[in-house]
Amino acid sequence: MPVDLALNQANPQQFDALLLPGGVISPDKLRMMPEAVEFVKAFFDAGKPVAAICHGPWTIIETGYVRGRNMTSWPSLRTDLRNAGANWTDEEALTDGNLVTSRKPDDIPAFNRALNNLFSRAEKSSQTRRAA
């Protein structure tokens, strides 16, 4: 898909949720970019929903928000996540508070269900706040 907004132009306050991609290259590059890590951290700071699949949790490690979290990922990230303080489990999709994680492309149906559930709860909460 073509990029329609550069990271340096994106404001986390203008987004309701964040989906971190899988694969090896994108997450590895993102975690090495301080502005990308700060963008992701802003979602956690605000309590907004975040979803990550495959290697996507690498970027979350850099935010400091994995400690004490129940998470899953591509199997090779297990040690990285545990070393950062996460409780790693081998599951299709795992929800912990405002975070959904998943392992691999085969898990996309389960990941989508969990992601839709989390994002829709956040949307309802956001609508309630606006109505109050």
Closest CA to 36 of 12, 2, 55, 67: 12
Q: What spatial distance separates the first Cα and last Cα of the chain, rounded to whole Å?
A: 37
Catalytic residue among 31, 48, 55, 69: 55
In this structure, which amino acid lies at residue 69? Answer: R
- 102 phi and psi, to 5 degrees? -145, 165
CA distance 102 to 3: 24
Active site residue 78: no
Residue 53 in 3-state DSSP? strand
**What residues are labeled active site?**
55
